[in-house]
Chains A and B, each alone.
Chain A
Amino acid sequence: MAKIIVVTSGKGGVGKTTTSAAIGTGLALKGFKTVIIDFDVGLRNLDLIMGCERRVVYDFVNLINGESNINQTLIKDKRCEQLYILPASQTRDKDALSQEGVERVLNELRESFDYIICDSPAGIEKGAQMALYFADEAVVVTNPEVSSVRDSDRILGILQSKSKRAEAGLEPVKEHLLLTRYSPERVKAGEMLSVSDVQDILAIPLVGVIPESEAVLKASNQGMPVVFDQQAAAGLAYMDAIGRLLGEEIEHRFLDPQKKGFFQRLLGATA
């Protein structure tokens, strides 16, 4: 039986899709059979970041409407044996996802996968609520700034009141805080909230801190999840976060400003 993990944030553009791709790929690299579902119907970003946009034939809405079956619709990743993508429809809107339809698809996927990663759309409305409804765990993606923290707080309130687990009185959705686009230099300069500022407000366990990194942009442009780039701090930080998600105890790194060596400075090395 698969575990369902929603990647959510409230606020848009904070790194949900980047994170879904990284976590999904990382889990698959660790040997777990994983599928990443794009709940952002109408926008469809996940397939771009995963580099499989040209292989999309059927999508999530087709599957829900019975116009295709699971085997036809899932896209198997070419780099990683255990990894599958369920793309969103580009031509429909979020109303095309019915709760019964989503539940039916998730139940079917649950049988054969270890992890189901749900990439949520932005917002706190229907689309985001659909993505989190069936979740067992939630990765709440937050940027170190006030409005993102506020929206994460709201989405945590929704997880606690409007998820299936909450409604059925089951054990609550397990919450993980993932701080992304963290820049220790800017925190030090007082331009960004620090890890402890954010933790103080949200009061949920910290699963990882992903530094602001040009490698992320490069990776998404190449359709290559950043965890493949083990030279990049962001890729390493995501692998650490995945380890913690699996229950390993791993110390946080990349929290302090980097001391650049002479040669690094000379070469203009990136984070």
Chain B
Amino acid sequence: MTFNEGRIEYLHCEECGHNFFYPRDRCPRCHGNRLERRTSSGNGKIFSYTEFQGGIYAIVEMDEGFRLYANVRNKVKIGDRVRAVQGKGRPEFVREP
């Protein structure tokens, strides 16, 4: 939701329990508007990835259940565990050993 200090914030729907990232004023699953802003643990895994022009673009599935597009600093495979770190104006991901 915002990228302050590399933290990944997301929205939790208090009506249906859905967690989502791309910020809206209504829950995309139930259209409820009782939403709570939460901070992700920053831990997730690779849902898909592509390597282009020397960088990695990926969809990361966070442990809280939502997914987002992001860049990853290491070569990865689908299912690899990753962790969010502070990038320039955005969180990026590194592969967990």
Q: Do A and B bind each other?
A: no
Report B's interface with A, CB cutoff 8 A: none
Report A's interface with B, CB cutoff 8 A: none
